[in-house]
Amino acid sequence: MNPVLEPLFRTVRATHPKADLRVIERAYDVAAYHHRDQKRKSGDPYITHPLAVATILAELGTDDETLCAALLHDTVEDTAYSLDELRGDFGETIASLVDGVTKLDKVKFGDAAQAETVRKMVVAMSRDIRVLIIKLADRLHNMRTMRYLPEHKRHQKSRETLEIFAPLAHRLGMNTIKWELEDLAFAMLYPKRYDEIARMVSERAPRRDLFLQEVIEKVSGDLREAKIRAVVKGRPKHYYSVYQKMIARDVAFDDIYDLVGIRVLVDSVRDCYAALGTIHARWNPVPGRFKDYIAMPKFNMYQSLHTTVIGPEGKPVELQIRTHAMHHRAEYGVAAHWKYKEEVGTPGPTGKVKPGSDMAWLRQLLDWQKETSDPGEFLESLRFDLSVSEVYVFTPKGQVIALPEGATPVDFAYAVHTEVGHRCIGARVNGRLVPLESRLGNGDTVEIFTSKSPDAGPSRDWLKFVKSGRARNKIRQWFSKERRETAIEAGKEAIGRAMRKQGLPLQRLMSGEALLALARDLRYPDVSALYAAVGEGHVAAQAVVQKLVASIGGVDSAEEDIAETSLPTRLRGRPRGGGGAGVVVAGDADVWVRLSKCCTPVPGDEIVGFVTRGHGVSVHRADCTNVQQLKTQPDRLVDVSWSPSDDSVFLVAIQVEALDRPRLLSDVTRTLSDQHVNILSASVTTSRDRVAVSKFTFEMGDPKHLGHVLKAVRSIQGVFDVYRVSGASG
């Protein structure tokens, strides 16, 4: 036997003793021969990648056909070995698995090709789910070795992993793969946020571990007394899931991290409920936090009892109680069932598997991809569909339809049939008439009323509340075909309204050039297409306005630029010299000089001067975004140089990025005050992903002091980045 295969075979023997090792060795030999001259970006021989993918799958307990396909998955795409040769050597099943995993071809046509690749994968995996399992293992090994790729590639792959592959792993119940994919992608995309959470976790680990040990000992002791055989252990904390909980539950890090998680593994379903009773006898359960996923399993075959109790010191403790078989399924999902044809399905209350029911989602996806002609739209809908939980509702005839959480009767109507959706005018839920925007709950019976009118069609307002990708796509398609002109007018009006609301100069910002450049940036062929996109709700008018303002250097810059090109105004009083600003103008010491607010230059920055009409000379950093526009009037540019005196004061703007928490702003302002800086203005925005971005403008006498200020702010808990900002690129 080839010694390279020994670790793989050891794993295979442990997880799947009946596997045919000879065919696996033959697959390795063929792959090694055809990849013999290829190297990975890391410099390792290429065969190390298929071997690593096969090892990941062997750990999951997959069958020998899957392992052979994993070893051969790149041969057809990357070598001279053809699919027909592979079919002749290894049979139809392994060949179809390899073909399913193979990307469209080596040529990449941007997003559409990537979307088309995902679409092809969806079609293949609906025929045989093992295609997706191999793809997930392939992506996991690529993520582990991602550091050898260029930065833009790393970011693209990591985003794809978070939006598509990790949720797909979750759909298939493969939690071990899901957690590792999420943490690897999170660390790659947001290294500073990842490091900050890791730092906060490590700081609290010793105290938390002592508490965890105390809870485990008490639970183990109680179960021993009740004569229930059990393994009790702490649940590992994954950095990305901690971060996600901070966003979803809108609570601070301490409240999540102090919540101790315990897992109890027992021998039988009966023991699960007995263990639950024993735990509730010691500690009071928290009302509303008990979930029975054994009697009602999740869509991805997950089974467990969940409860939260008030543990020692009054701290909440989360417990998951499940059998060893359920635990194996929770970790490895469908990959744990190597007898796919018979076993794939959703476990019933007894823990046995009902064939095929969990693949309904894939079949629905297959129908859906046939209907959606635009691959980009399909990919966007898939991302949304993967990111939400589900509710199950009934048709009047008792057929079950799965919809995203928060779905409405309109989503239900489109799930039944496109025409039912378009003609929907009312709904009855559980026998009662309800508004179309009502949220549906698990177990609701829904009846739809339709219009007989030939002009019946969806309402644009439906886009505000529908939740399913299918309904959204169908409504958008209808408006795209029927209402393009109306959409263009509506889009134009919406952008104009958003500008007037902010008091921005309509004429200047809506000039053909600025809008055309923005339309091209957003990948629309012309300005009309951009207006139509806004009118149809694909792009928010506010987002367009923000991008337009950003393209000319921000709101302050826009206002300043307008001031500089406005009519001359008379100075009140005598122009002051430049000494107070610490800048002198070449050839004229007695000119009023002001430091521009758009880029807040300080000594050490390269600067240029611009003669304004009636406002003296404004000084900008050489790399300020506004300087490009000022250079169109070279006769008004003047040479300026730094000449700071003891009484010179400079404006500095800094940006602080932190994981949001209570009292964050007060901690930052206190730290700035401790550093003896005079804060002139502050703005704070918190994004949906729990990142607080604060901007502070303050006065400083000695710019060298800035380094100490930044260091002090960086040491505040939760702050993962702080830097000086300017009108330059940042």
How many angstroms separate the CA atoms of 524 and 520, rounded? 5
Contact 669, 679 (CB under 8 A): yes
Q: How many CB atoms lie within 10 A of CB 73?
A: 26
* 260 DSSP β-pair partners: 317
Q: Which amino acid is at 276?
A: L
Contact 654, 695 (CB under 8 A): yes
Q: How far is CA 191 from the centre of its chain?
A: 14
Name the CA dihedral angle for 549, 551, 552, 557, rounded to a multiple of 10 degrees: 60
Buried b (16+ CB within 10 A) or exposed e, 403-432: bbeebbbbbbbbbeebeebbbbeebebeee
Q: How many residues does the chain have?
A: 730
78 is catalytic: yes
Contact 261, 235 (CB under 8 A): yes
How many angstroms separate the CA atoms of 730 and 725, rounded? 5
Vertex 707 angle, CA 702 and 710, to 5°: 120
Q: What is the DSSP string of 492-530?
A: HHHHHHHHHHHT--HHHHT-HHHHHHHHHHTT-SSHHHH
Q: At what angle do helices 375-387 and 469-482 cross, to 10 degrees?
A: 150
Q: How far is CA 50 from the centre of its chain?
A: 28
CA-atom Rg of the chain in angstroms:
31
The H or E element that residue 409 is part of is helix 409-416
Greatest pairwise CA separation for the chain in angstroms? 95
Q: In a 3-state reduction of DSSP, which class is residue 696?
A: strand
Extract the tokens encoding 284: 């009071």
Nearest to 102 by CA among 123, 88, 364, 54: 123
How many angstroms separate the CA atoms of 85 and 675, rounded? 72
* Catalytic site residue from 6, 64, 74, 77: 77
Residue 713, C-beta contacts closer than 8 angstroms, at least 6 positions apart:
654, 656, 668, 671, 672, 719, 722
At residue 600, φ and ψ (nearest 5 deg) are 35, 70
| C-alpha separations of 646 from 130, 590, 643, 708 in Å | 73, 18, 10, 20
Contact 173, 301 (CB under 8 A): yes
Tokens 């056909």 -> residue: 65
How many angstroms separate the CA atoms of 566 and 582, rounded? 27
Q: What is the DSSP string of 129-144?
A: THHHHHHHHHHHHHHH
* Catalytic site residue from 20, 78, 111, 447: 78
Q: Which amino acid is at 685?
A: T
How many angstroms separate the CA atoms of 542 and 494, rounded? 8
Extract the tokens encoding 111: 């997003």
How many angstroms separate the CA atoms of 70 and 28, rounded? 10
- The set of catalytic residues is 77-78
